[in-house]
């Protein structure tokens, strides 16, 4: 198996289950809906980033790093999962986070950031004008001057190495679809930093698998498709599978972004409500809520028949609900 060539640590409970959503499917009267429960990966309340961190922190361990740095928004799910993983592995963790001014006090002290502190991460707050990547590089250089061995992870853990976690996930999905005797017409997932969708696209291409539809949570379709194509291509290069691009093979829908990243929309609120009311499924307002709104739109579009099936990748993020109470 090609992924076995890469250093890796065990963090997530895998494979995550695929579950049907029968009541919601019946309510919509459209295709059969299923969910891939990557919110159930376990450590630090779970989520998709643990798949990426298995490879990234595998490399950090191989390099004998003692401190891990990463960047994100104040309520970053990736930051929370990184902090939890570092706690498990005995690594120091430093998070460089950007706050926003248009949220309530809960944004600064509840949800993911509360968990960051509980996992003993050191938090650095960015000023509005600062580059998060430059700040992380400066902090890493300071740590090196103190004799430490830092390891830097890009936003969302999205890079060729980290995305291998979703190459593995694509293989899981294809194996589970055979076991369930279900053919998925498409896999639907949130797209932000592009790594989750990029890894899925690269993994599906390796196996002539299922189309992957990204639902953007920021930016527009053109820039998100370009970003995701680059992520998929970099993943392919890391795998040693050549330099063929993915232009024209990546589909991202941007109709569900609304006024911007982490800004609420009525479609997102409906998605949270329907998932909870019909299936007891908890989504978050930033990523999975908007992505599930995209899934609902696809199910209602008439593009897919009642006998066809769609798979939603639940990337986690439920702790974020408590950081954005005004969004629900």
Backbone angles phi and psi of 105, in degrees to 5: -60, -30
Q: Indicate the angle between helix axes 164-180 and 49-62, nearest 10 degrees.
A: 130
Catalytic residue among 25, 76, 309, 327: 76
Is residue 298 within 8 A of residue 321, CB to CB? The reply is: no
**Alpha-carbon distance values, 324 to 100, 112, 148, 276, 286 (Å):** 12, 10, 36, 17, 9
Q: What is the three-class DSSP state of 93?
A: strand
Cα 95 to its chain centre, rounded Å, is 17
- State the Cα–Cα distance between residues 216 and 242, nearest whole angstrom: 27
Please say if 4 is a catalytic residue: no
For Cα atoms 211, 215, 217, give the angle at the middle one, nearest 5 degrees: 155
Is residue 212 within 8 A of residue 200, CB to CB? The reply is: yes
Is residue 253 within 8 A of residue 295, CB to CB? The reply is: no
Sign of the Cα torsion 301, 306, 307, 309 reads positive
- State the Cα–Cα distance between residues 111 and 250, nearest whole angstrom: 32
Maximal C-alpha separation, the chain = 62
Q: Residue 89: which of 141, 11, 181 has the closest Cα?
A: 11
Give catalytic residues, as residue numbers.
76
């Amino acid at each position: 198996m090609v992924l076995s060539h890469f250093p890796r640590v065990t963090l997530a409970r895998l494979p995550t289950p695929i579950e049907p959503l029968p009541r919601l499917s019946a309510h919509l009267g459209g295709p059969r809906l299923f969910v891939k429960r990557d919110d159930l990966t376990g450590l630090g309340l779970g989520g998709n980033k643990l798949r990426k961190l298995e490879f990234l922190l595998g490399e950090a361990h191989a390099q004998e790093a003692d401190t891990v740095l990463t960047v994100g928004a104040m309520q970053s799910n990736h930051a929370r999962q990184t902090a939890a993983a570092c706690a498990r592995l005995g690594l120091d963790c430093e998070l460089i986070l950007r706050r926003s001014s248009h949220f309530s006090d809960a944004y600064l002290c509840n949800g993911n950031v509360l968990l960051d502190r509980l996992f003993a991460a050191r938090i650095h707050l960015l000023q509005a004008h600062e580059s998060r990547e430059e700040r992380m590089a400066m902090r890493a250089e300071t740590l090196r001057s103190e004799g430490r061995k830092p390891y830097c992870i890009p936003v969302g853990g999205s890079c060729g190495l980290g995305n291998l976690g979703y190459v593995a996930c694509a293989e899981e999905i294809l194996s589970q679809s055979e076991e369930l005797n279900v053919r998925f017409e498409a896999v639907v997932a949130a797209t932000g930093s592009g790594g989750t969708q990029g890894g899925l696209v690269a993994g599906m291409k390796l196996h002539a698998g299922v189309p992957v539809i990204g639902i953007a949570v920021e930016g527009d379709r053109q820039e998100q498709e370009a970003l995701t194509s680059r992520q998929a291509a970099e993943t392919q290069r890391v795998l040693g599978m050549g330099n063929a691009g993915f232009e024209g093979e990546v589909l991202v829908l941007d109709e569900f972004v609304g006024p911007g990243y982490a800004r609420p929309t009525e479609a997102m609120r409906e998605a949270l409500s329907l998932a909870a009311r019909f299936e007891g499924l908890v989504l978050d307002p930033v990523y999975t809520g908007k992505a599930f709104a995209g899934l609902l739109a696809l199910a209602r579009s008439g593009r897919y028949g009642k006998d066809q099936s769609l798979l939603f990748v639940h990337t986690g993020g439920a702790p974020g609900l408590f950081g954005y109470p005004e969004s629900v």
